[in-house]
Amino acid sequence: MAKLTIDDLKKIKEKAKRRTELREGGDYRAKVTVHMGTCGIAAGARKIMNAFMDELEQSKSSDILLTNSGCAGLCSREPMATVELSGQAPIKYIDLTEQKTKEIFQKHVIGGNVVKKYALGKGSEKTDA
């Protein structure tokens, strides 16, 4: 690596921070949880998770938390995911497809407004913060 100057340092810091910030468990603007119970996986939750992963990568944003959780209980409408913007009630989406996921990510996670046609309903049982 060539000799660093102070602003090189800052640049590296920015780049590396995106990765390590994840570990600090800081506060996030949005939290997306893909429900990957056994049946969820069987219903294709993996593809949904990958879709979310790709979207997250392109968006280059660092304040979105993508995580997974166990079965959400509604097996028939798998695969499902919950999007919870800070300060708003979590919205659960059902019968997801990759295409739908992209739309939800752009409109809701990034855009901030709920995509009614795919949503199951507002609110959900208690999620451990």
Partner 1 sequence: MEKANEKAYRLHLMVCAGTACVSNNSFGIKDALEKEINKQGLEDEVLVVTTGCNGFCERGPLLVVQPGNVFYQQLEEKDIPHLVEEHFLKGRPVKKLMYKPPKEKSPIPILSDINFFKKQVLIALRNRGLIDPEKIDEYIARDGYSALAKALTEMEPKQIINEVKDSGLRGRGGGGFPTGLKWEFVSKSSTNGQERYIVCNGDEGDPGAFMDRSILEADPHAVIEGMIIGAKAIGASKGFVYVRNEYPLAVSRLIKALEQARGYGLLGKDILGSGFDFDIKIVRGAGAFVCGEETALMASIEGRLGEPRPRPPYPAEKGLWDNPTCINNVETWANVPVIINRSADWYSNIGTKTSKGTKVFSLVGKINNTGLVEVPMGITLREIIEDIGGGIPDGKKFKAVQTGGPSGGCIPAKNIDLPIDYESLTEVGSMMGSGGMVVMDEDTCMVDVAKYFISFTQNESCGKCTPCREGTKAMYEILDRITKGEGKEEDIDLLEDLAKSIKDSALCGLGNTAPNPVLTTLKYFKDEYEIHIKEKKCPAHVCRELNTYTIDEKTCLDVGHGCDLCRKNCSANAISGETKTAHQVIQEKCIKCGVCYDVCRFDAVKVK
- H helices present in 1-129, as ranges: 6-24, 38-42, 45-59, 98-104
Q: DSSP letters of 39-67?
A: HHHHTTHHHHHHHHHHHHHHHT-SSEEEE
Judged by CB under 8 A, does residue 126 bind partner 1?
Answer: no
> For partner 1, which is the closer residue by CB, 49 or 85?
49
Q: Which stretch binds partner 1 (CB under 8 A): 36-44, 73-81, 101-109, 113-121?
A: 36-44
Q: Decide: is 79 part of the binding site for partner 1 (CB under 8 A).
A: no
Confirm if 96 and 89 have CB atoms less than 8 A apart: no
39 lines the binding site for partner 1 (CB under 8 A): no
Closest by CA position to 30, among listed 54, 64, 62, 68: 64
Angular region, 89: left φ>0, alpha ψ -120 to 50, beta rest: beta
Asked if 47 interacts with partner 1 (CB under 8 A), we say no
Nearer to partner 1, 65 or 75 (CB): 65
Among 27, 57, 125, 126, binds partner 1 (CB under 8 A): 57
Which residues are near partner 1 by CB under 8 A? 1-6, 9, 12-13, 15-25, 33-38, 41, 46, 49-50, 53, 56-57, 65-70
